[in-house]
Amino acid sequence: MGYGVVMVFDMSTHEKIFRKVINLVTVIVLYILLLAIIIGVFNVFQNIGLVWLKKGGFSQVVYSVLTIFVLIDFFKAFADYQVHERIRLTYVTDATILIVMREITVLIYGHEFENDTLLVFAALILVLGIVRAIAVKFPPFECPGSISVSCEDEQVK
């Protein structure tokens, strides 16, 4: 009849572990994104050199630049999460709009587009633009001293 050792953690211990793991993961992702941005800038210069030598297409330069902007928006989102412990909708919509614009650019320069596809992408950009405008017009309300909990959530407790 052996008794096992039971480790009891209170919720604050779990929350501390969770926050440390999330902090570590976001820092790692930030460094990976920073490295990707640096590599992307070198890629842009390489593509500009190929355009200069008439060996590459200008579309690849545009695609690379838009990719860097997407990476920068993701970097801003993760850096903001690191500070405020929440993801801002504007950063996510900006990144998504840039991704759609990048794909439209690839389709147009590659002459592989159909009118229906461009119409769907245009509608998507319109909806994302409306979502972004609403997010800017009506930002989330926070209680003083609160990082990620709104006042309504605070009153429920």
On whether the CB atoms of residues 96 and 131 are closer than 8 A, the answer is: no
Residue pLDDT, tens place only, 5-29: 555 556 688 888 998 999 999 999 9
**Residue recorded with tokens 């209170």:** 10
On whether the CB atoms of residues 100 and 108 are closer than 8 A, the answer is: no
Closest CA to 22 of 96, 86, 90, 93: 86
pTM: 0.70
The DSSP output letter for 53 is T
On whether the CB atoms of residues 47 and 62 are closer than 8 A, the answer is: no
